Chains A and B, each alone.
Chain A
Amino acid sequence: MATKARRENSAAHGAQPNPSGPANTGFALGNFKLPLILITALLLLTFTSRVHEVVLWSFVSAVAVLAAWLVYLLVLSNRRAEIHDFSIVLRPQHYVQLLIQISLFSYWGYYWRPVYDHFYLIIAQLLFAYSFDILLAWSRRRAYTLGFGPFPIILSINLFLWFRDDWFYMQFLMIAVGFMGKEYVRWQREGRSVHIFNPSAFALGLFSAVLILTNTTSLTWGQEIASTLTLAPNIYTFLFLLGLIVMYLFEITLVAGMAAITLFACGALYNANFGVPYFLDSEIPAAVFLGLHLLITDPSTSPRTPLGKTLFGLLYGLGVFGLYTLLDNLGAPTFYDKLLCVPLLNLSVIAIDRAVRSIKSETLLNVWRADWLGGRANLAHMSVWIVVFAVMTMLGKTDGKHTGDSLPFWEQACSNELSNSCQRLVQLKTTYCNDNAAWACNELGIHFRQGLIVGRNDSQAQEYFGQSCELKFKAACANLLDDNLALKDNPHELDLRLLLREGGLNLISASSDELYERACDHDWQFACSTNRNTL
């Protein structure tokens, strides 16, 4: 009973003067033991093998800042004879999301091991986040609500952006900004002071903008993260199924579903109009599909009304679609598309709700509230979403091979001068060359030597020929020796193991027959020859 009373009290007032008066009993740690334990745990993590000397000083700096803050607050509260309190509140939206994110990390990490290697660094971020959040709440002289709240924030951030070890202190700064944004950037919504931005999306959006402006994406694992989700087989189905749990429990179907439908529809329209897929190798990039389930579905930073949620999802879809081209034209990495528009959408929430409420038509307002399934509208929305996803899957628009996976398709499209196709072709070849596909490097060398679809650059051409030649691609070695040559050859078997992976794992164990069959399916005409032994 006493505990309950104290919780209610602390929730209302946070810092309370100590009834026993100023500290005549000496220096009292009180509830400061909690952040002290967390900071100590963060310090202890430096003894793990993952925290080597490159990342060590980021940890030490984080611990130093938190410890100094803790000591300052402790001295202050002892001087003022205050008690800083906390209450334990476990919210389903936090722990359900936590379980879902852990499932995703486990599944993805099974196919891309750096995720598992990142484990201790995620633990460190969680410890930092809890300590920071507690100290921030107590600095603001309010009680801390201890629960699973920081988990979804940290795990969400880590599903999209990690700074490399040399720059790991930026990860701590990003987390700090997320929590400060939640604490300080607020507005009045329906009579309550609430945070404007989804904390993880706010931090991700701001840091993405800075990374783009300073052209320092290479400090992060962002590109790798965005492109490795598809290494996990059937990732779209996996995300869809996880998404259904959240949709069922928290009624986010309208937001996520509408965002996905918008992206599918825009992609289909683009394809019908220009003859090539909009996104390079999928209908919706897997990371975007993930983003629309995690980044825009926070109820406190999205609209409340059904029509508002629908509009919100629609705007996210359009935003991602537009940003992809914008970033591409600016020469920035396109994986930021899903991150940059979320804070802007969060800002538009009140306007969306206001616009919806200004609609006089009851029919329109209630279009999503129809008395489907006996008034359980969310189940009706989910049913529609399930049907849409099933149709998309049957049409081959989710998992599996996409039109854009085929290099011959892009070669053909480029020679037909279809929209953006030459640029996409070079992008794809660059990706495969970076993966050490010798054929792709030789092709790039030829493009840069000839200057037909990219600007002519002889030294760049030599570098690509050299890389290809080192991978034993004979045509490239000949091209390296003679500046007037542009000798091509079909991809070798090792190249095919990379070129045909369709966003998944390299086809290391596939037999030659399987490879050539798949290559033929990708429209490599040379592979369709029956007499493969002569190749």
Chain B
Amino acid sequence: MNQTVEHDEKVPGRTVGFTIMTLVILLAAFQMSRESSLQQMQGSDESEANTQPLEGFRPAAWYLPDDELLGFVEVPAGPFVMGSNPALDPMAYENERWSNLRRQGSVDLPAFYVSRFEVTRAQFAMFTEDSRFSTDDIDLAGAGDLPVTGITWPEALAYGRWLEQRLRASPQTPAEISAFLEGGAHVTLPNEAEWEKAARGTDGRVFTWGPRPRNDLANFNGDALAGVGAIACAVCSYGLSDMAGNVWELTRSPSQDYPYDPSDDETNLPEDALYVMRGGSYADVINNVRTGVRGAADPGVRNGTIGFRLVISTL
């Protein structure tokens, strides 16, 4: 039997449904356009500088050291002795030998500036905030004066380029540094010779503080990073800190046999790239924190014992 009976209520109209459907589409469109705006804002947002005070550093100057030259130290022009002589340095490795015929060589460098400290987390964070750099893989947590680690070689170079742009544009930049930049210098990683001269000085030191091992002037043979400059070393070459230990420091020189040749960078292209790093880290033993030690890193590698410092160089 058919049980249907007439009833008064109307079937809900199509207009209502159509309106709801339109609203749903508009809601989706609104949400998506909101997301699009957010993405654009993130893209153009130059984040507010992190202005937390950090003793010994200037937050307003990209957390560079609070001294006359923003932490840069001049290394005068002139020659220095590069490579290791096993007669003076019994811990020398074979790859520190200059050539089959000579143990060491002389390299003449123009004047350059080198940063007193390794680049810190606070400094690198200014760069990442300013340039939308992804920081997922970079160690930026912890105290701002710890050396930045977990950076790749191109990221270290990118930081140098960014800092150069800031230094060139800022009235805070010391006149001496500005003039040097105006003269064609660039902020970048040191090449191997620049690094070794800065560490060894012109008196051929085996360690950056002198000829003999010491435990009190560098962070090595340990288990943790130290804040940059935490271990004072007035006797170290050019007064630089942490040229021995704390973190291995990347250079812009490809890993190749001595004698050192800065123009040899474009050969053997099919080989995998590998770049020299210097100075040893907190985890290394004494023979790896000598001025002549040559390590090498894949340019894409991220490691908690690898960081860098910068030079302002005309090369």
Which of chain A's residues have a CB closer than 8 A to the CB of B273?
469, 472-474, 476-477
Given the known interface contacts A139-B12, A472-B272, the answer about A462 and B158 at a Cβ–Cβ threshold of 8 Å is yes
- Please pick, from A214, A218, A481, the residue contacting B29 in the complex, using a CB distance under 8 A: A214
Interface centre among B5, B252, B266 (most CB of A within 10 A): B266
- Minimum CB–CB distance from B162 to chain A (whole Å) comes to 10
Q: How far is the CA of A141 from the CA of B274 in the complex (A)?
A: 73
Given the known interface contacts A216-B32, A477-B299, the answer about A469 and B154 at a Cβ–Cβ threshold of 8 Å is yes
Q: Does A470 contact B (CB under 8 A)?
A: yes
Q: How far is the CA of A16 from the CA of B298 in the complex (A)?
A: 75
- The answer to whether A181 and B21 have CB atoms under 8 Å apart is yes
- Minimum CB–CB distance from B52 to chain A (whole Å) comes to 28
Q: How far is the CA of A472 from the CA of B12 in the complex (A)?
A: 66
- The answer to whether B271 and A474 have CB atoms under 8 Å apart is yes
- Minimum CB–CB distance from B208 to chain A (whole Å) comes to 26
- The answer to whether A141 and B270 have CB atoms under 8 Å apart is no
Which of chain B's residues have a CB closer than 8 A to the CB of A140?
11-12, 17
**Number of A residues, CB within 8 Å of B:** 58
Given the known interface contacts A216-B35, A474-B268, A474-B273, the answer about A465 and B4 at a Cβ–Cβ threshold of 8 Å is no
Given the known interface contacts A216-B32, A216-B36, A219-B35, the answer about A177 and B21 at a Cβ–Cβ threshold of 8 Å is yes
Interface string of B21-52 (1 = CB under 8 A from A): 10011011101110110010000000000000
Which of chain B's residues have a CB closer than 8 A to the CB of A357?
none
- Minimum CB–CB distance from A177 to chain B (whole Å) comes to 6
- The answer to whether B27 and A489 have CB atoms under 8 Å apart is no
Q: How far is the CA of A139 from the CA of B4 in the complex (A)?
A: 18
Who on chain B is nearest to A477 by CB? B273
- Please pick, from A12, A167, A180, the residue contacting B17 in the complex, using a CB distance under 8 A: A180
Q: Does A13 contact B (CB under 8 A)?
A: yes
Interface string of B262-279 (1 = CB under 8 A from A): 000110111111110000
Interface string of B220-242 (1 = CB under 8 A from A): 00000000000000000000000
Q: Does A170 contact B (CB under 8 A)?
A: yes
- The answer to whether A469 and B3 have CB atoms under 8 Å apart is no
Interface string of A467-483 (1 = CB under 8 A from B): 10111111111101100
Given the known interface contacts A469-B273, A492-B270, the answer about A80 and B24 at a Cβ–Cβ threshold of 8 Å is no
- Please pick, from A174, A466, A472, the residue contacting B298 in the complex, using a CB distance under 8 A: A472
A436-479 residues at the B interface, CB under 8 angstroms: 462, 465-467, 469-478
- The answer to whether A170 and B157 have CB atoms under 8 Å apart is no
Which of chain A's residues have a CB closer than 8 A to the CB of B157?
466, 480-481
- The answer to whether B161 and A80 have CB atoms under 8 Å apart is no
A177-198 residues at the B interface, CB under 8 angstroms: 177, 180-181, 183-186
Q: How far is the CA of A5 from the CA of B2 in the complex (A)?
A: 8
- The answer to whether A490 and B270 have CB atoms under 8 Å apart is yes
Q: How far is the CA of A259 from the CA of B185 in the complex (A)?
A: 62
Q: Does B219 contact A (CB under 8 A)?
A: no
Which of chain B's residues have a CB closer than 8 A to the CB of A487?
266, 269
Q: Does A75 contact B (CB under 8 A)?
A: no
Given the known interface contacts A214-B33, A470-B152, A492-B270, the answer about A173 and B28 at a Cβ–Cβ threshold of 8 Å is yes
Q: How far is the CA of A462 from the CA of B269 in the complex (A)?
A: 19
A192-221 residues at the B interface, CB under 8 angstroms: 206-207, 210-211, 213-216, 218-219
Q: How far is the CA of A19 from the CA of B32 in the complex (A)?
A: 49
Q: Does A87 contact B (CB under 8 A)?
A: no
- The answer to whether B24 and A474 have CB atoms under 8 Å apart is no
Q: How far is the CA of A142 from the CA of B4 in the complex (A)?
A: 13
Which of chain A's residues have a CB closer than 8 A to the CB of B214?
none
- Please pick, from A462, A471, A480, the residue contacting B300 in the complex, using a CB distance under 8 A: A471
A470-512 residues at the B interface, CB under 8 angstroms: 470-478, 480-481, 485, 487, 489-490, 492
**Number of B residues, CB within 8 Å of A:** 48
Which of chain B's residues have a CB closer than 8 A to the CB of A477?
153-154, 254, 273, 275, 299
- The answer to whether B269 and A16 have CB atoms under 8 Å apart is no
- The answer to whether A173 and B24 have CB atoms under 8 Å apart is yes
B258-305 residues at the A interface, CB under 8 angstroms: 265-266, 268-275, 298-300
- The answer to whether B158 and A206 have CB atoms under 8 Å apart is no
Q: How far is the CA of A534 from the CA of B3 in the complex (A)?
A: 90
Q: Does B60 contact A (CB under 8 A)?
A: no
- The answer to whether B24 and A180 have CB atoms under 8 Å apart is yes
Q: How far is the CA of A184 from the CA of B33 in the complex (A)?
A: 26
Q: How far is the CA of A474 from the CA of B18 in the complex (A)?
A: 60
Q: Does B212 contact A (CB under 8 A)?
A: no
Interface centre among A17, A82, A474, A535 (most CB of B within 10 A): A474
Who on chain A is nearest to B189 by CB? A481
Q: Does B20 contact A (CB under 8 A)?
A: yes
Interface centre among A186, A473, A535 (most CB of B within 10 A): A473
Q: Does A334 contact B (CB under 8 A)?
A: no
Q: Which residues of A contact B (CB under 8 A)?
A: 5, 9, 12-13, 16-17, 19, 80, 82, 136, 139-142, 167, 170, 173-174, 176-177, 180-181, 183-186, 206-207, 210-211, 213-216, 218-219, 462, 465-467, 469-478, 480-481, 485, 487, 489-490, 492, 535
Q: Please, could you name 23 A-B residue pairs with CB atoms under 8 Å apart, sorted by A?
A: A9-B2, A16-B3, A139-B12, A140-B12, A184-B14, A184-B17, A185-B18, A210-B28, A219-B32, A219-B35, A462-B158, A462-B161, A466-B154, A470-B152, A470-B153, A470-B299, A474-B254, A477-B153, A477-B254, A480-B154, A481-B265, A489-B269, A490-B270
List the 6 closest pairs (A to B, CB-CB), nearest first.
A466-B154, A470-B300, A180-B21, A472-B272, A214-B32, A474-B273
- Taking A167-B35, A475-B266 as given, write out 12 further A-B residue pairs in contact, using a Cβ cutoff of 8 Å, ordered by the A residue number: A16-B5, A170-B32, A174-B28, A184-B17, A184-B21, A206-B25, A470-B153, A470-B154, A472-B298, A477-B154, A481-B252, A489-B270
